Amino acid sequence: MSYTALYRKFRPDNFGDVKGQDHIVTTLTNQIRHNRIGHAYLFCGTRGTGKTTVAKILAKAVNCQHPVNGSPCGECEMCKAIQAGTSMNVIEIDAASNNGVDNIREIREEVAYRPTEGNYKVYIIDEVHMLSTGAFNALLKTLEEPPSYVIFILATTEAHKIPITILSRCQRYDFHRITIDTIAARLDELLKIEGVEAEEKAVRYVAKAGDGSMRDALSLLDQCIAFYLGQTLTYDKVLEVLGAVDTEVFSRLLRKVLQGDVTGAIRTLEDLIVGGRELGQFVGDFTWYMRNLLLVKTSGNPEEAIDVSSENLKLLKEESEMVDVETLMRYIRIFSDLSSQIRYSTQKRVLVEIALIKLCRPAMETNLDSVLDRLRILEQRMDERPVQQVIVQQGAPGAAGVMGTAAGKGTETMAAEKPEKAAPEDLQKIVASWKVIVGQTSGIFKQMLQKSIPKYNGQTGEPILYIEFQDFLGKTYVDNPEAEEELKNIILAQTGKSVELKMVVAKEHNHTNLAQVTVDQALRENIHMDVVVEEDPDDTEE
Ligand SMILES: [Zn+2]
């Protein structure tokens, strides 16, 4: 016995079985019942929403000898012949492969002959947007004066590519993407008929993965059933078969992104790839996850709007507290752009990595929402920065820029003492690469370093690098040999300089001679680095 795919086996053969397109079904059955059938229909909508299925039912209904409430009876000669694909009255054309003028001319010649049996000749032209301009013109001539016994049904996923002259002669029907509820209900029905046990959560997951397309959902269900033939279909099995990722991983990834931890985010991606996850699916699922977060954040009762277990909802609520709406919208935008790019790319992984870096580093983008995200980060830093230390020294020598990531303008400096000696060149080199060095640390240590100011002894000019934490939490790293070692190694790798360093917390230490390390213009030009993030806008031309 040969196996028939579910979507073929359960393809609706009357209007009553068509799911999720009630607005279309009602209009069409009314037309048939009152004998007000049009001569040209345009069916638009994404794949798998039932365009050709409805076209075939319509073809049967108009030819049926005993239609029941506008639906084909399925019993008469005509219904059976059309169902079996042997009727001469229904002509299906795939415009993707028959898109020339000659193909349409052929139709025009055929159209001249009345049907030998039944009432209507129905031409179903699928993917009609693929027709050439010449072919459209030829089609237009037929549509202008169609014989009374001819019906054209044009189906397309891309209505905007259809010439307006054609559009104006058709009744247009927009097929909706089918909701998860509708798809899930249909899957449930079919599973019962097939005698397959399945968890509700598993069915919902498949319905969601169908992404508005009944056909896709049925194909996915087919895969899952085939893989675990004779067994109950559980949520875990579905995740396994569809290569889907569990919420826990998304949550881990999001936290890395929010911390700006590029390495951590990429490592999480690596784990997913090693685990055999399909990247296209992952991108879709992560976007969906962020969409859920957004709903949790903005909706009063998210339980109704999103479809997750109660334990996952708890996690989502926790996470939604960590991120603001604008940031989430930016993330979702980047990932939905990614999902369209990734489809035909051979470098899927690189694209996903770039997207993750974009999430971690809003500074890489120039549009409004990324600017808002940058502003958020800046404001956060401003809040954390001790105000009394800012002394404005207009035009002070050597105060060309504030090093590190402290948010300051070019004319401000944090220096409290006037240094007698300039910092040794080695320290200047280290500070010139400070951002890069800090970027290689991680976690709280990194956050503390981002808010630190590299200093030196302004009186002696001795080659000791003082790292002055502006946040008292930095205290954990004061006299901490492990942290010192880590930082020293990074500095060595980055600059080739081995340096003595000492970490202190601002206001708690008594090194009164400390001065901020400023970098000579000459040195800065030599290093060619993005030294200062937040310069006075007048100084930069970006
Ligand atoms: Zn019939």
Distance from Cα 155 to the centre of ligand 1, integer Å = 24
Distance from Cα 185 to the centre of ligand 1, integer Å = 28
Distance from Cα 86 to the centre of ligand 1, integer Å = 15
How confident is the model at residue 397, as a pLDDT?
45
Tell me which amino acid residue 531 is. V
Distance from Cα 41 to the centre of ligand 1, integer Å = 21
Tell me how far apart the terminal alpha carbons of the chain are, to the nearest angstrom.
69
In this structure, what token pair is assigned to residue 64? 């049926």
| Angle at CA of residue 378, ends 376 and 380, nearest 5° | 70
This prediction's pTM: 0.55
For the chain, the residue count is 542
Distance from Cα 150 to the centre of ligand 1, integer Å = 18
What's phi and psi for 514, nearest 5 deg? -70, 135
Exposure class string for 487-510: b at 16+ Cβ within 10 A, else e: bbebbeebbebebebbbbbbeeee
Distance from Cα 79 to the centre of ligand 1, integer Å = 4
180, 408, 166, 429: which is closest to 288 by C-alpha?
180
Which residue matches tokens 């009164």? 512
How confident is the model at residue 419, as a pLDDT?
63
Distance from Cα 81 to the centre of ligand 1, integer Å = 10
Q: Which residues pair with 503 in a beta bridge?
A: 467
Give the count of beta carbons closer than 10 Å to the beta carbon of residue 272.
20
Residue 116 per-residue DSSP state: S
CA distance 207 to 205: 5
In this structure, what token pair is assigned to residue 252? 């881990």
Distance from Cα 67 to the centre of ligand 1, integer Å = 6
> Which segments of the chain have a pLDDT < 70?
1-2, 243-246, 303-311, 363-371, 376, 380-381, 383-419, 521-542
How confident is the model at residue 243, as a pLDDT?
65
Q: Are 105 and 136 in contact (CB under 8 A)?
A: no
Here the contacts of 233-238 (C-beta below 8 Å, separation 24 or greater) are 233/191, 233/196, 233/197, 233/198, 233/199, 233/202, 233/203, 234/198, 234/199, 234/202, 235/199, 235/201, 235/202, 235/205, 237/202, 238/202, 238/205, 238/206
How confident is the model at residue 190, as a pLDDT?
92
How confident is the model at residue 212, as a pLDDT?
84
Distance from Cα 93 to the centre of ligand 1, integer Å = 23
CA distance 510 to 439: 28
Pairing of strands 452-457, 514-516: antiparallel
Q: Are 482 and 444 in contact (CB under 8 A)?
A: no
| Angle at CA of residue 84, ends 82 and 86, nearest 5° | 65
How confident is the model at residue 392, as a pLDDT?
43
Q: Which residues pair with 392 in a beta bridge?
A: 412
Distance from Cα 37 to the centre of ligand 1, integer Å = 17
Separation of CA 261 from chain center: 20
Q: Which residues pair with 453 in a beta bridge?
A: 468
Distance from Cα 68 to the centre of ligand 1, integer Å = 8
Distance from Cα 72 to the centre of ligand 1, integer Å = 5
Distance from Cα 62 to the centre of ligand 1, integer Å = 9
Task: Report, in angstroms and rounded to the nearest whole number, the Rg of the chain calculated over CA atoms.
Answer: 33
Q: Which element (helix H / strand E) includes 375?
A: helix 368-384
CA distance 441 to 480: 15
Q: Measure Cα distances from 360 to 270, 363, 419, 456, 530 in Å.
A: 16, 9, 37, 32, 17
What's phi and psi for 515, nearest 5 deg? -130, 155
Distance from Cα 89 to the centre of ligand 1, integer Å = 14
Distance from Cα 115 to the centre of ligand 1, integer Å = 16
Distance from Cα 70 to the centre of ligand 1, integer Å = 10
The three-state secondary structure class of 502 is: strand
